[in-house]
Amino acid sequence: MPFDGLVLAAIKKELIDGALNLTPLLGSRIDRIYQPAPLELNIVLRQPGKRNRLLISAHANEARIHLTEQTKENPASPPLFCMVLRKHLEGGRIVGLTQEGLERILVFQIEVRNEINQLTQKNLVCELMGKHSNVILVDAATQIIIDSIKRYSFNLSRYREVLPGRTYLHPPKQDKLALDTLNEAIFQENIWQQPLAAKLEQIIQRRFEGLSTLMSREIIYRAGLPADLTLNECGEYEINVLGQKLKLLCQAVRESNFPPALMVNEAGEPVEFDAFPLTHLRILTARKATMNVIVDQFFTFQEERSCFNQKKQRLISLVQKEINYQAKKISTWEENLTEADKAEKFKLYGKLLLANAHCLEKGLTEVSLANFHDLSSRVLISLDPQLSPVENANAFFKKYQKAKKTRLAIQPLLENARQERFYLLSVETALQQASTLSDLAEISQELMTTGYLAKTTTGQKSKDKPKPKQKTSAPLKFISSDNLTILVGKNNRQNDYLTMRLAQENDVWLHTKEIPGSHVVIKTNGQPVPPTTLHEAAILAAFFSRAQQSHNVPVDYTGRKNVKKPPGARPGFVTYTNHRTIIVNPDKSLPAKLQPYSPIV
């Protein structure tokens, strides 16, 4: 995702000259300024009959500037820099945008009236340079820094201080050649001065202004040269053809002729973008749009995916913690149950002592007696010398009764813990297979309902109307080879909805045998299910389960009328009877073949 000098130049051109559905920003009034994140600004610009939202980010990995359609939640109290910008810029008018060459620095020149109603100019300097990115408010007349989104002194930078009251210094110049003044002689001279072992893409990126590594590869590809070609492997022909392609790029830059492209994969997800089509990425498809729209779409997708991954990982960590807790309880109770099962020997000891009490004396520490159940063997019993034989027998009977009660108490607890762990494993499986924020929202709601996740409070008063219950999203829909509909639940809430409400009694219900996974329903319409459809549905049940990476997965199937949900059971838990089992291997290519792979309407 190279937000290089070319991309910034294309952004600037659209902001100044306008583009499709975009009016020029020069003359726009600054209506409102927000700072939704520590290193991000949203500036609302107003024109007659038109409002635009400008996003400026100084994030190290996402430094950029562009118009956006996205709105974000703002903090209850605006940060200090936001308040400074509001004081100095709100109500001001943008009168100019400047970019020196193809540097990643864009300066907004803003006319605004000061406290005594005098017309002054402030410069909002946007430095978009990776980890050195910054947004600095400067007084245009004195070049004194008013404030910045990042402050640092000479302790962090030996070149300059960025602090209120200091004079603004331009970032240090890079020793690169400007594309708008480049000619063949300068190109040839600078190319052959580079180390012979250096790769061409590195030379182009380091020596010519505004070019990212990605665009350097594109130039080499358009020249028909190998991507990993070094200068030592080049002759006059290679350098000449490379110079011709770079010359065409320079001409487009001088004419501000930018045909931006968003490169997407087969799923339509943005992967790369630049101010020129990236034809060397042949496995990707180029989408045409304005540079502002492309950058907005790309980073919106990146932010949503990052938010999705963070939320997903947070929920998975929570569920895995609970799974481990249940596993520890199961292990402890199984050990206690094993010890309780050994208590039958206490009953035997007591009986043997009572049967032989007449020939035993008090004070013995142990005794060996013949076993009732095996006369050829003897049982060695340890005794308390302070007790009589009968008292020792009664002590063993008490131990036996205690162990018996322990077994009766542990067995239901152990069964509940096993069921709870199975339920949590099903939630973890649903989380691992979740693909959208709405999927995570449903699972979060389920975890709130079951008490594993704290419920969010909105602070509404009791007299307010209660928030409507969140609807369960539709399950996935597939069409079998026999043209029958197969429905698959994506989480436990969907499983309940699919099995208990959407499915009819004559439909066929499938689920992996004793393995957490999705409920699968074949809509039969009262007709017999062909073996091919049954096999495909079983493969889907195995694929959308915890056994997705396994082989020979058992899948149970039965009529929907044989499936029941016990009262008070966890989401997704059902019981079923009169079932049969089919063994299948999960096939990751099958869901894509059984179109449509989308939620039902």
DSSP letters, 263-315, are: EE-TTS-EEEEESS--TT-TTSEEEE--HHHHHHHHHHHHHHHHHHHHHHHHH
Note the pLDDT of residue 126.
96
First to last CA, the chain: 36
Residue 28 contacts residue 45 (beta carbons within 8 Å): yes
Mean pLDDT value of segment 177-187: 83
Nearest by Cα to 397 from 432, 350, 433, 355: 350
Please give the structure tokens belonging to residue 598: 């989308």
Note the pLDDT of residue 322.
94
| Structure letter (DSSP) for residue 130 | G
| Cβ-based neighbour number of residue 270 at 10 Å | 21
Q: How confident is the model at residue 20 (pLDDT cuts 50, 70, 90)?
A: low
For 33-88, what is each residue's pLDDT tens digit?
999 999 999 999 998 888 999 999 999 999 999 999 988 899 999 999 999 999 99
The structure tokens 């499915």 sit at 503
Q: Give yes or no for residue 466 having a pLDDT over 90.
A: no
Q: How confident is the model at residue 23 (pLDDT cuts 50, 70, 90)?
A: confident
| Structure letter (DSSP) for residue 19 | B
Q: Give yes or no for residue 528 having a pLDDT over 80.
A: yes
Coil, strand or helix at 185: helix
Mean pLDDT value of segment 101-129: 93
Out of 1.10.357.10, 1.10.8.50, 2.40.37.10, 3.40.50.1820, the CATH code matching 179-291 is 1.10.8.50
CA-CA-CA-CA dihedral for 217, 220, 225, 229, to nearest 10: -60
The residue that leads in pLDDT, 325 or 374, is 325
Residue 95 contacts residue 120 (beta carbons within 8 Å): no
For 251-297, what is each residue's pLDDT tens digit?
998 888 999 999 999 888 999 999 999 999 988 899 999 999 999 99
CA-CA-CA-CA dihedral for 57, 58, 60, 65, to nearest 10: 40
Ranges of each domain in the chain:
5-148, 179-291, 329-429, 476-599
Which of 238-242, 437-441, 554-558, 585-589 has the highest average model confidence (pLDDT)? Answer: 554-558
For 324-336, what is each residue's pLDDT tens digit?
999 999 999 888 8
Half-sphere exposure (CA, 13 Å, Cβ side) for 194? 23
For 531-573, what is each residue's pLDDT tens digit?
999 999 999 999 999 999 999 999 999 999 999 999 989 999 9
CATH superfamily of 5-148: ibrinogen binding protein from staphylococcus aureus domain (2.30.310.10)
Using CA atoms, how far residue 543 sits from 302, 433, 512, 537, 589, in Å, is: 28, 10, 10, 10, 10
Note the pLDDT of residue 470.
60
Q: How confident is the model at residue 471 (pLDDT cuts 50, 70, 90)?
A: low
Residue 64 contacts residue 4 (beta carbons within 8 Å): no
Q: Which of 18-27, 108-117, 318-327 has the lowest mean pLDDT?
A: 18-27
Residue 297 contacts residue 289 (beta carbons within 8 Å): yes
What pTM was computed for the model? 0.77
Q: How confident is the model at residue 596 (pLDDT cuts 50, 70, 90)?
A: low
Mean pLDDT of the residues in the chain: 89
Note the pLDDT of residue 536.
95
Q: Give yes or no for residue 486 having a pLDDT over 60.
A: yes
